[in-house]
Amino acid sequence: MAEWEDDEALAGRYQADGDAGALETLFRRHVAGTYAFARRFVAAREDAEEAVSETWLRAGRALRAGSFRGESRFKTWLLGIARRVCLEHLRQPRLPTLSLTGLREASGGDWVLFAPAPGPASELDEALASLSDDHRLVLTLCDLQGLTDAEAAKILGRTPSATKSLRARARRALRDALLIPEE
């Protein structure tokens, strides 16, 4: 397996030959970014993990079916799949749940099932969560995943100039949420 090959060449090898090593290399390169992307959209860690699994399952099937044509970077194509998976996940009806903390308090017991959860979300995480889906999505794609406006536009189904404008509004909304004064 040639670790130095670019993503598009690896995707092409998997499409043409079913080279599992090529798909494995793509997975290792992009699974963390895919998870970070999904985590910005779904509240629970488990839901983000499920979305990442579904994203890679769909990506593998689509590659074998010849759906990746190389018209965009592999990362852009993959995050487009992740976006659709996350949106589908958000539309699914959720069963009501009871937190373990609430269950412990309701039972009056003094028991612990798991170690305490990590500290509270960072101020940035809370500010991002307060933004609209479109604003959070464009900031995640451009500022956190490093895509260009043109690449993000393909995922968002917008023009590059509309994406650039959306990103500017999203940054302004994030700045307001963080209470950072404009310069």
Q: Are 134 and 166 in contact (CB under 8 A)?
A: yes
CATH code of 23's domain: 1.10.1740.10
Nearest of 50, 79, 70, 65 to residue 16 by alpha carbon: 65
| 53 domain-assigned | yes
Judge if 39 and 105 occupy the same domain.
no
Judge if 20 and 74 occupy the same domain.
yes
Model confidence, pTM: 0.65
Per-residue pLDDT of the chain (183 residues; tens, 9 = 90+): 456 788 999 998 898 888 889 999 999 999 999 999 999 888 788 889 999 999 999 999 999 998 888 888 999 999 999 999 999 988 877 655 555 555 555 555 554 444 444 555 678 788 888 889 889 989 989 988 889 999 999 988 899 999 999 999 999 999 888 887 766
Judge if 24 and 89 occupy the same domain.
yes
Q: Are 81 and 58 in contact (CB under 8 A)?
A: yes
Q: Are 21 and 34 in contact (CB under 8 A)?
A: no
The total domain count for the chain is 2
Distances (CA, A) of 16 to 10, 20, 73, 83, 156: 10, 11, 18, 26, 28
| 9 domain-assigned | yes
Instruction: Give the tens place of pLDDT for each residue, 113-133.
Output: 444 445 556 787 888 888 898
Domain that holds residue 102: 98-178
| 47 domain-assigned | yes
Return the number of other C-beta atoms located less than 10 Å from residue 104's C-beta: 14
Judge if 67 and 136 occupy the same domain.
no
Judge if 12 and 82 occupy the same domain.
yes
| 144 domain-assigned | yes
Judge if 104 and 170 occupy the same domain.
yes
Q: Which residues contact 105 (CB under 8 A, 6 or more apart)?
A: none
| 183 domain-assigned | no
Judge if 118 and 139 occupy the same domain.
yes
Judge if 2 and 89 occupy the same domain.
yes
Judge if 90 and 3 occupy the same domain.
yes
Judge if 77 and 118 occupy the same domain.
no
Q: Tokens standing for 51? A: 């979305």
Exposure of 43 by Cβ count < 10 A (0-12 exposed, 13-18 middle, 19+ buried)?
Answer: exposed
pLDDT of residue 115: 45
Judge if 70 and 155 occupy the same domain.
no
